[in-house]
């Protein structure tokens, strides 16, 4: 199972849209994903039509009450399973600090999930700042997608992520795989191409060929509690997110193979 964190240290760059619509593209291939909203703002959770409101039924229950992830996941039609965010998540740093135990807690929780779940991939919508939540996502995942909107501030946010990932490599004892995704791509503006060129200069082959165009369907679909494929399957946004999935699969970063059902031995230990 592939675990993907979507992170930039600047907000408004398309993190939530990318998690939402990449999970939807995967579901269109007949596979379910586990989707985790780790942003205390909870924008991704707000798209779900029946997200629970209680903190104990959100990801905060995993941290505060040691609830297994499987007990918190809810069905999401056209997507897979969702573990919701809650505003109480903002307290995780102050309550638990930044020791190895808390930073690896999500990784261990996902390892337990993988033994019994039938989801194919995990996608995590990170918060737009560096703290326990975003670090935990990086520790737990196979690679990170860093969205870059077509402006210089989001490019600077991506550069901060690059520095963070390099600094974590001695701790994790591996290179953190990452890919940079150009979003809000408006070909009418020269800045779009300038930011794209600068991203290529800074990150080279880690920049994805797929770009996510500025698109009304991508912007409007969440307010209708839908992903872009449900809202407008023929839109440019839908085509872009399908192209993103195709590129990730072609590059071996994400698998669309169905996982076998867990055996009784693996469940019972």
Give 147-192 pLDDT, tens digit per residue.
999 899 999 999 999 999 999 999 999 999 999 999 999 999 999 9
Our CA angle for 83, 16, 22, nearest 5°, is 85
On whether the CB atoms of residues 19 and 125 are closer than 8 A, the answer is yes
d(CA 251, CA 255): 10
On whether the CB atoms of residues 267 and 63 are closer than 8 A, the answer is no
Helix (H, G, I), strand (E, B) or coil at 248: helix
On whether the CB atoms of residues 179 and 145 are closer than 8 A, the answer is yes
d(CA 254, CA 109): 21
Q: Is the pLDDT of residue 56 over 90?
A: yes
Percentage of the chain exceeding pLDDT 70: 96
Domains of the chain: 2-251 (3.40.50.300)
| HSE toward the beta carbon, residue 241, CA cutoff 13 A | 31
Strand bridging mode 33-37 / 207-213: unpaired
Residue 258 binned pLDDT confidence (cut-offs 50, 70, 90): low
Predicted pLDDT at 119:
79
pTM: 0.93
Predicted pLDDT at 265:
38
What's the pLDDT tens digit per position in 124-145?
A: 999 999 999 999 999 999 999 9
Sheet holding 2-6, edge to edge: 74-76, 80-83, 33-37, 121-125, 2-6, 143-149, 177-185, 207-213
d(CA 35, CA 137): 12
DSSP bridge pairs for 180: 146, 207
Closest-CA residue to 35 (of 46, 45, 49): 45
């Amino acid at each position: 199972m592939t675990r993907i964190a979507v992170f930039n240290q600047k907000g408004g760059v398309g993190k939530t849209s990318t998690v939402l619509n990449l999970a939807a593209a995967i579901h269109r291939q007949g596979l379910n994903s586990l989707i985790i909203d780790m942003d205390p703002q909870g924008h991704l959770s707000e798209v779900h039509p029946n997200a629970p409101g209680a903190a104990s039924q959100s990801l905060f229950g995993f941290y505060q009450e040691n609830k297994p992830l499987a007990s918190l996941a809810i069905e999401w039609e056209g997507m897979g399973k969702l573990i919701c965010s809650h505003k109480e998540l903002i307290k995780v740093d102050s309550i638990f600090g930044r020791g190895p135990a808390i930073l690896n807690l999500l990784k261990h929780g996902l390892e337990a999930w993988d033994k019994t779940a039938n989801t194919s991939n995990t996608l995590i919508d990170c918060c737009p700042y560096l703290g326990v939540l975003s670090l935990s996502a990086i520790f737990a995942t196979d690679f990170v997608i860093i969205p870059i909107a077509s402006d210089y501030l989001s490019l600077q946010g991506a550069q901060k992520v690059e520095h963070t990932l390099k600094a974590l490599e001695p701790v994790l004892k591996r290179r953190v795989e990452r890919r940079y995704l150009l979003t809000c791509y408006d070909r009418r503006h020269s800045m779009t191409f300038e930011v794209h060129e600068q991203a290529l200069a800074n990150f080279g082959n880690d920049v994805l060929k797929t770009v996510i165009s500025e698109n009304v369907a991508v912007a409007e679909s969440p307010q209708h509690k839908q992903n872009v494929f449900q809202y407008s399957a023929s839109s440019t946004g839908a085509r872009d997110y399908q192209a993103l999935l195709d590129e990730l699969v072609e590059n071996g970063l994400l698998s669309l193979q169905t996982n076998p059902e867990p055996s009784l031995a693996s469940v019972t230990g």
